[in-house]
Amino acid sequence: MNIEHFRSATTILGRVVLLALLAIATPCSAQFNPSVTTSFDNLQAGAASSFSQTLLFPEGSEGPYSLLIQFNEDTFDFSGFVPGQQVGGAVIDIFIQTPVVTVAGQIIAEVQINTVDLETLEAVAMVTEITGNVAAGLALLGFPNPTGQIAFNVTYTKLPVVGATMNIVDAGSLPLSGILDFDVPLVWTTEPLLNHSPAGGVLVVETTITSSSGVTMQFEELFPLSDPLGAQFQRADCNADGSFNIADTIFTLASLFSGGWAGTCTDACDSNDDGSVNIADAVFSLAALFNGGTLPAAPSPGTCGWDENDTDTLDCESFGSC
């Protein structure tokens, strides 16, 4: 037997042994019992956040086909992102231990943008690196080296009113379909695309995972948001009647100097946005109204919004015109 024939025979024998050992360890009846854990780099209301998901698909169970993540209140912000840019990544840890060989390492993919507009971002997770002896192990199992191949198609979508979804679909280049021969821990990471609701509350993350045969499992995780920005308001509309005029200045002066009601939104009375309410706000408003002075900062009169650069102690519990 020449060397080439010997190598070929050795490879075939190794593949047969590995497949046989894996077959022994695989249960006869497959189930679909993944687990999922989501985490965020911050949970501050009104802040942009990256997030990650750790998923586990156990050996002997069905592999995943798709993953749909829905955020109830938060939304995606695609401004500044362009085709070709990396917006996340995926890592699959591989560990297969048998009496004759141990296959260990990672399959690493980068999520790269294909197209992006105001409402949707289309991307692909491209395999960029395989570590350890995973490539050799996949070859023994009959799988080609997936480096440079698309592992998943990924779509980020802003919902029409509130909320956002992230949809991940297996592209078929990884050994995930059918019954898994080994545990598949999959970790997704995403750049800070997600904007938490400025109003705070509880962020609900609903994850639907679909198996390669169409079985679905749903998970719900709750994340309380911290430091909400309060109610929306219009700056300088101190009396909250929906218009900016001299009545707002009178309201401010009355609350400061004659025991008048301060209202439920002191942020709105901070006309010059310096973090406090005093006579300077009345002067600022009068200048804006009658002397061509600078208009109040956002959220400006006529437009409801939050003080998204809020670093002061003023608050807005409610504002009747928003």
* CB atoms near residue 130 (< 10 Å): 20
For the whole prediction, is pTM greater than 0.85?
A: no
- Taken in order 165, 171, 175, 178, is the CA torsion positive or negative? positive
Residue 14, pLDDT above cutoff 50: no
Residue 21, pLDDT above cutoff 60: no
Indicate the length of the chain as a whole number.
322
CA–CA distance, 125 with 152 (Å, rounded to integer): 5
CA–CA distance, 35 with 218 (Å, rounded to integer): 10
3-state helix, strand, coil in the chain (%, to 5): 20, 35, 45
Closest CA to 33 of 220, 222, 215: 215
3-state SS, residue 250: helix
Residues 6+ apart with CB under 8 A from 49: 40, 41, 42, 43, 192, 194, 195, 196
DSSP state of 23: H
pLDDT digits 0-9 by tens, 23-48: 444 444 459 999 999 999 999 988 89
Q: Averaging pLDDT over each range in 115-129, 176-190, 228-242, which range is the top one?
A: 115-129
Give the range among 39-48, 236-245, 300-309 with minimum mean pLDDT: 300-309
Architecture of the domain delimited by 229-322: Orthogonal Bundle (1.10)
Residues 21 and 181: beta-carbon distance below 8 Å: no
pLDDT for res 1: 40
Domain edges within the chain: 3-224, 229-322
pLDDT for res 30: 55
* CB atoms near residue 99 (< 10 Å): 7
CA–CA distance, 23 with 246 (Å, rounded to integer): 82
pLDDT digits 0-9 by tens, 69-108: 999 989 999 999 999 999 999 999 999 887 878 889 999 9
